[in-house]
Amino acid sequence: MTRHSAFLLLAIATVPIAAQGQSVFLGRVLTDSSVAIAGAEVFLHGPQNIQRTDSMGEFRFSGVNAGQHIVSIRMPGFAPMFDTILVADAGEMRREYKLTRIEATLPEVPVKTTPLDRKLVEFHERRRMGIGRFLDSTEFANTPGTRTSDRLKKLPGLKIGRGRFLSEAYVLSTRAPSKLAFGGGVCRAAVWLDGVRLNDFSVNQLDPTMIAAVEWYAGPASVPPKFNVTSSFCGVLVIWTR
């Protein structure tokens, strides 16, 4: 073996294992009329790996493992987009995403609106965007269960945790980042009641007949900015009362 060959083998052997076979994923986020979007959030395989586009609408992820990855793109005022990419070993993957602007129109409501109709305007707007899980008063009333916790636990990714007393019921998310997860891989979810964030709130304090609508966001990536005010919770449950 020559001295040059020995040096080359030594150099290869000293490359960290985690760096071998990793690739770069980069691209741009534009409007449907090809204008660059700055500040768009690009998620690669979940909320733990996020990049925001620069002034040119560009993003870049380095050290991406080979294999299939789920990409999601989010920007207020635009419909979210999802993609699946297949990354090769030690290569470069490029993508260009064009987001469609959401029309800023309110849902149709009766001419004679009630206070409850006005309270739920934003609920209907977010439901129309399709991010999260939503139950209106009729759907919630038709969900089996005599207690509020019994009806809520039917929502995907939502788990009920018990307190010191049997009647206590706290909302947990099963889609918890590892750094926040505790027993069973779950994490405490934040609860908002009529626009006010509550701490240590047992949902069974509410009679099911009082509930007019429910919004559930199981993971951090799906939480609307209005309710994403802390990083110590995993999911968010929003309850609107009559």
What are 77-116's pLDDT values in tens digits?
Answer: 888 888 888 888 888 999 999 999 887 665 665 556 788 8
Q: Kindly state the tokens that stand for 88.
A: 């090769």
| CATH code of residue 182 | 2.170.130.10
First vs last Cα of the chain: how many Å apart?
82
Please check whether residues 151 and 237 belong to one and the same domain.
yes
For residue 165, pLDDT beyond 80? no
Please check whether residues 224 and 122 belong to one and the same domain.
yes
**Is the distance from CB of 234 to CB of 188 less than 8 angstroms?**
yes
Residue 46: its pLDDT value, please?
Answer: 64
> Regarding beta strands 22-31 and 92-99, do their DSSP bridges make them parallel or antiparallel, or are they unpaired?
parallel
Residue 9: its pLDDT value, please?
Answer: 39
Percentages helix, strand, coil for the chain (3-state, rounded to 5) are 20, 35, 40
Residue of 180 and 157 predicted with greater confidence: 157
How far is 6 from 57, CA to CA, in rounded Å? 45
Burial class (CB in 10 A: 0-12, 13-18, 19+), 217: buried
Q: What percent of the chain has pLDDT over 70?
A: 83
Name the average pLDDT for the chain: 83
Residue 91 placed within a domain: yes
For residue 14, pLDDT beyond 50? no
**Is the distance from CB of 241 to CB of 193 less than 8 angstroms?**
yes
How far is 167 from 50, CA to CA, in rounded Å? 39
Answer yes or no: pTM beyond 0.75: no
The last residue of one of the domains, among 64, 99, 134, is: 99
How far is 33 from 212, CA to CA, in rounded Å? 39
Please check whether residues 95 and 120 belong to one and the same domain.
no
What are 49-79's pLDDT values in tens digits?
Answer: 899 999 999 999 999 988 888 898 999 888 8
Number of domains in the chain: 2
Structural domain boundaries enclosing 66: 16-99
Please check whether residues 63 and 137 belong to one and the same domain.
no
Residue 6 placed within a domain: no
The last residue of one of the domains, among 69, 99, 129, is: 99
Judged by phi (left if over 0) then psi (alpha if -120 to 50, else beta), residue 176 lies in beta
